[in-house]
Each structure stands twice: as structure tokens, then as C-alpha cells.
Amino acid sequence: MKNPKAREQSFSIYGPLSLLMLLLIWALLLILGFGLFFFSMGSPFADSIVGSGAGAWTRFGSDLYVSGTTLGTLGLGDVLPRSPLARTLVICEAGVGLGLVALVIGYLPVLYQAFSRREVSIALLDARAGSPPTAIELLRRHSFEGGDHALEALLSEWERWSAEILESHISYPILCYYRSQHDNQSWLSALVAILDTCALLISVLEERPSRQAQLTFIMARHALIDLCQVFHLQQKKTWQNQAQQDRLPTSEFDLLCSALADAHLRLCGDPATLRRLRTIRSLYEPHALALAGYLRMPLPAWIAPPREKDQWNLLTRLRSEAVLDAEQAKTGVTSSFLREDEHSH
């Protein structure tokens, strides 16, 4: 699909639709399997529609009918089993049908609860790291006084989020195909943005919460690598293609440092900074690129282009104007008092 919006919309329905189709296929295979059991027993049923001299395909159709009504626990009673073994199989299939219904009732809520918990943190990251999220924007929006504590709390929360992703998405890999409901957001881009932030805190920046960054990095990387193993990406073509990609070329590293300096962040400044950053990037970027190619989810850029309609920039500008107006008003009141005092003297 050449239209990106149509392509994303089709991807967004792929996960939920594939789950429903999977449950439907399970039910159809159970009906076919028990129908073949009945057919192998010589169709031991008393059917008023199908006579004793009916052909094989007609009898097999009757067996499938019995199997379908039994699995759905309808119990119409228009076709009756004529042997003890057939009755036993009917009872077994009815029990399997109840188990299938219980599986659907218990399976779907668990999946959608895990999906909902995942998306809440991704939605909250929008105001803290932009959309799509980037490490530079996340650090810039936490460069205020006391921002270190807020950033440490955020990384601690995302350490737990990564652990939940590790447990839920490995148990239910189909959740990886579920797309976020908002544009420019995905669980993979959010996870990589957090990894990028931790990489900068560990290897480039000084006087920042590097201890929590290390803990979050280890857990997030663990989730990323295990998900690659679930889909066997090391054996797929996407794993070879990612070796040719570089998310942060050397020519853009100076732009990265300039963006960090503009956010009033203190850099390490030694010549080995680029080497350390490249080393830590090699620990997770190949897996992230392979997952991005397999799931068709774009990864965030290290340096995001400026956005005209960014709500954070708008609110920051309005807040700065409000503070400036308040200072000017305070200065004007002070000057007025001074003039009145001079006049009285």
C-alpha cells in the first residue's frame, strides 16, 4: 500500500482480526476432528434426513452437523447416537465445547487488559518525550530544576513497564502485532526511545541519574532481545538487512551534542564519548532494527525535526510569556512606588 494512513489502518486491524480468526480456526478444526472420528466409526447416528443407504459424503456431512451442534452445546436432538462409543464421544466433545467457550471468555480480557496497560504508559510518554518520542526531547523536557528526580522516577516506571512487556508479550506474542491507537506512537518506538535515553545518560551526560538508567537499560534490552528470539528474527532476512542501517551516523553526532548543549545538559566532553555511545548502541539497535523491519514499525530518530503544531512548545511559550508579563508588571509597580515616594519627599 502506497498510502501510509491506509497501510497503518490495515496493520492496526491485523492483530485483533488474527486473534479472532485463530479462535475460529480452532473451533473449525475441532468440529472437523470429531466429525472424522464419527465418520471412522461408520456414522453411528439415527438421522431422519439421511437414510441408511446414503453415500459417504452425505454421511460425512451428517457427522459434521452432529459435531458442530455438539461443540456449540446446542443439543437439538434431531440426530441420535446409536452406540456407547458414539455417546461417549458426544459427551467429550460437549465438554471440549464448554472449555473452548471458557477459553475465549478468559483469554480475550487478559489480552486486552495487557494491551490497555501497555498503551497507558505510551500515551503518558507523549507529553514527556514528544510524538514520536525521542531521547533528546525527553531529556530537554526534564532539564528544569528538579528534573533529575522526575527523570529518575520516569525511568523507574519504564523499568517496570519493560518487565511487564517481557512477561505479557512473550506469553502472548500476538500482542506485538497490536498497534497503538494514536498516530506516531508504538510500543517499539517508545521502548527504543527509552533505551536511547539510557544510552545517553550512561555514556554521554554527566551529573544525571545514571544508576537508574543502567537498571532500566538492562530490563528494556532484555525484553527487546527475548522478543526477537520469540519471532526467530536471527534467521530471517530482516536480521541481515539491519546490518546496513545506522540510526546515528558520525556526521550527526555533533548535531546531537549541540542539541544536548542547547538543553543546558552537561556533556562528558572526552574523545571517547562517541566510542562509548556506539558500543552501547550495538547492544540493542540490531535487535530493534530487526523488530522494526519485521513488524513494520518505524523507529524514532535520534534528532527529531521541529514540529509546528507541538503542544508542548506552545504551552512552554505561553508560560514564558506569562512569567515575563508578571515580571514586567512587578517592575512597573515597583517603579510607581518609587516615584510616589520621591514625590512625597
pLDDT digits over 232-256, tens only?
988 777 676 665 678 888 888 888 8
Assess contact for 230 and 307: CB atoms under 8 A.
no
pLDDT, average across residues 218-242: 85
Query: In percent, how much of the chain has pLDDT > 70?
Result: 83
> Looking at residue 194, what is its pLDDT?
95
pLDDT, average across residues 163-174: 93
SS3 146: coil
User: Cell numbers of 118, please?
Assistant: 501497555
Assess contact for 212 and 155: CB atoms under 8 A.
yes
Give how far Cα 291 sits from Cα of 34, 230, 241, 325, Å: 39, 11, 11, 49
Ordered domains of the chain (ranges, CATH): 4-104 (1.10.287.70), 130-310 (no CATH)
37-55: string of b/e by CB count within 10 Å (b at 16+)?
bbbeeebbbebeebeeeee
- Side-chain-side CA neighbours of residue 33 (13 Å): 12
Reported pTM: 0.80
User: Cell numbers of 67, please?
Assistant: 459435531
pLDDT, average across residues 87-102: 90
Distance in angstroms (rounded) separating the CA atoms of residues 100 and 105: 9
> Looking at residue 6, what is its pLDDT?
84
SS3 205: strand
pLDDT at 50 over 80: no
Question: Tell me: the pLDDT tens digits for 320-332?
Answer: 566 566 666 666 6
Question: Tell me: the pLDDT tens digits for 110-162?
Answer: 888 999 999 999 999 988 888 889 998 898 888 888 888 999 999 999 999 99
